[in-house]
Structure 1
Amino acid sequence: MITPIAAIAVLSVVLFFPRGQADSQLTVASGLSPLIEVEELEIVEEETIISVPTAPEPIVVDVQGAVTHPGVYSLVEGDRLIDAIHAAGGYLPHADSRMLNHAMKLVDEFYIYVPIEGEEVSLSGSILTTPVKEEDQKSVNKVNINLADMQELMTIPGIGPSKAAAIIQYRDENGSFTSTDRLMDVSGIGQKTFDRLESFVTVD
């Protein structure tokens, strides 16, 4: 029950204070608890996904013949044959590069031989980096994988020193290859590698 003094205090607040302030004072004067609305702020953390590009795989190729600095060079997966030539210092003045496919992507252990002008080369050599046409396959001098030594095996496209050694080791441990596709039993030679070299090998 509101006493006369409390009633006078309430009336004074209404008459002499602005609307908003009067409401506040009225609440205090009447002894009522003020209502406070609290807005809940929802904080959403956005996840930032950072894509880190993977570094290309390193590869090693052997560049020989009419280049400035013949030797073994470390490149990366996706490099082209022209990159290997540049790594070897470029061609010598008498180099014959007409049979080289400079746009071909390199593979690990690739062997590249650059002939000089007038030099006769075999189609089985790694200098032929373009696919051999079906009508020309009969004239290809194929490498006999049962008889070839280390150097002969390295003339096969995609066969470098380590794969050549693995072929000889497999041959010593398991005997002669009964068919060319048995090369896929050799460590490091899969279907893709075999598809590239199939036209250049024989077991006859």
Structure 2
Amino acid sequence: MLVPMFKRSMMILLLLGMMAAGGLMYGYSEQDSAVKLSPGESRSAEVPAHEITVYVTGAVNRPGVVTLKEGARIGDAVNSCGGVLPTGDAERINMAQVLKDGQKVQVPEKAQVTRAAGADKSKSANNGKSDAGELININTADAQALDSLPGVGPSTAQKIIEYRETEGGFQDISDLKKIKGIGEAKFAKLKDKICI
């Protein structure tokens, strides 16, 4: 009775060994036939482009928030919003300026610029004094016109000019507070006398 049980156990062990060997041989044959991707098809090599989001407002067809690739310029953002309206003055904004994430881009209206240009002419006729009701365009005014604003002296006027040259212009009149020496109180005196 002991012998047949031993034979049965040996038979089961032999059968399990043959199945394991067959599985190994099948695995090796399938490994050779596996399709390998070439390095050009590897998705892990692709680096996703960084994106920035900017707010475009003013004289554009569809103002709003747009997402662009990092390194995009103001012209790209304006084009994403359908371009400049006929009433917009694209000459007063630096379309080649590189955008920063979170930046606000405002395309000015021609009417604002015309009014400001009239203010600049009247200043030169009145030795730097403006007539009541006329606005000074902080993106185009010269140092003399800026100096005539309340609380703005020659030094601050120069800082305003330097800011618009390095930053591509003011996008909003409240950006004037970024100039050292112009705080909330001084801006409150200026805001009704300036435009962009």
- TM over 0.5, yes or no? no
Which TM bucket (shorter chain)? 0.3 to 0.5
Determine which structure has the larger helix proportion and give its number.
2
TM-score by length of 2: 0.40
TM-score scaled by length of structure 1 = 0.39
Structure of larger gyration radius = 1
